[in-house]
Amino acid sequence: MQSKESVVAANTNIEKSKMQPTFLQRLRRRLVTRGEWQLYLLILPTVIYFIIFHYIPMYGIQIAFRNYSITKPLSAAKWVGFQYFERFLNSPMFPQLFRNTLILSFYDLFIGFPFPVIFAVVLNQTQSKKLVKFTQTVTFAPYFISMVVLVGMLNLFLSPTTGLVNKMLGAFGIEPVYFMAEPQWFRHVYVFSNVWQRTGYQAIIYFAALTSVDPELYEAATIDGATRLQKIWYIDLPSITPTVVTMLLLAVGKILNVDTQRTLLMQAPTNLVTSEIFGTYVYKVGLINTQFSYSTAIDLFKTLINLTLLIVTNQISRKLTDESLW
């Protein structure tokens, strides 16, 4: 038999559970009593966007496990399990795609990730406000150039016959270089064009983090005789470390998501040996050859790799720096 104390404790817990407000009651209290409905209204479009374009499409993941045809409903497609995953892993294209995607991704991460951080730190140490605003405007503007226009500019400047770069090389007696056609130049052109276009945009978040640093820290450092480099090392970098770690984790989490549009526009039959990546192959197999199940399996495989890398790097970051996404 239960003791009197246990019965009393059970009754007390029941009474407490009855007194606790439900989710709808808490939501109503926030919306009506606290007057927070405006805040929820502001985030509503974002929530709707993610539901429509991110959560509802998850229903289509099952295409990777079915023999899907566009002429039949998805529910009528036959389940084939991991057939398309096995087909891709045993495909002769798999090693090339995996190698090209990894090399291009890590090259872009190694070169492209530090640039916005360095740019924001240098800009933060600039005394002239007008120069800061002018520099931000000039470096931010390329972000608004469409990808088609950007690749057109690359073709124009890097043309072996009329391009400005090859004319400058010709002035030094160097033979014209086919930057957009030769496979050994594809990765360099891709990465540095990406750096040029996105550095100003990506530096905004780091610059915003630096502007929140207490000015008294700089004043105290100046009084103590700290040089500009010491201010950067002991004040600026520690202040933006959480932001840098967060952005690095997010970058690693999409390490295999190379810009497919840029790659397709820069791709040529002569540079396929280095430019064929997961995204371009999925585009050709899925949209051009209409092998929807096969292309979905490839893309899902890539997503699982990204998720695994994100979890691993998040755990490493938590142990080494006490900073993590969750």
How many domains does one find in the chain? 2
* Same domain for 53 and 201: no
Q: Quick: pLDDT tens for 39-86.
A: 888 889 999 999 999 899 999 999 999 999 888 888 889 999 999 999
* Same domain for 268 and 146: yes
Q: Select the more confidently predicted residue: 310 or 325.
A: 310
* Same domain for 316 and 212: yes
Does the pLDDT value for residue 7 go beyond 60?
no
Q: Quick: pLDDT tens for 108-166.
A: 999 999 999 999 999 988 888 899 999 999 999 999 999 999 999 999 999 999 999 99
- Predicted local confidence at residue 1, as pLDDT: 47
Q: Quick: pLDDT tens for 255-308.
A: 888 999 999 999 999 999 999 999 999 999 999 999 999 999 999 999 999 999
Q: Are 199 and 115 in contact (CB under 8 A)?
A: yes
Answer whether residue 154 is part of any domain.
Answer: yes
* Same domain for 136 and 214: yes
Tell me the residue range of the domain where 235 lies: 82-321
Cα atoms in the Cβ-side hemisphere of radius 13 Å centred on 52: 6
Answer whether residue 76 is part of any domain.
Answer: no
Q: What values do phi and psi take at 77, rounded to 5?
A: -75, 145
Write down which residue in 12, 37, 67 finishes a domain.
67
Does the pLDDT value for residue 238 go beyond 70?
yes
Please list the residues that pair with 78 across neighbouring strands.
67
Of the candidates 241, 251, 240, which has an alpha carbon nearest to the alpha carbon of residue 313?
251
Mean pLDDT rounded to a whole number for the chain: 88
- Predicted local confidence at residue 6, as pLDDT: 58
CATH number at residue 267: 1.10.3720.10
Work out the average pLDDT over 188-196: 95
- Predicted local confidence at residue 15, as pLDDT: 54
Q: Which tokens sit at 166?
A: 């090859």
Q: Is the pTM of this model over 0.85?
A: no
- Predicted local confidence at residue 31, as pLDDT: 63
**H, E, C per residue of 122-167:** HHHCCCCHHHHHHHHHHHHHHHHCCHHHHHHHHHHHCCCCCCHHHH
Instruction: Using a pLDDT cut of 90, give the percent of the chain over it.
Output: 62
Q: Point out the least confidently predicted range of 81-90, 182-191, 291-300, 316-325.
A: 316-325
* Same domain for 273 and 206: yes
* Same domain for 87 and 47: no
Q: Point out the least confidently predicted range of 13-22, 82-91, 167-176.
A: 13-22
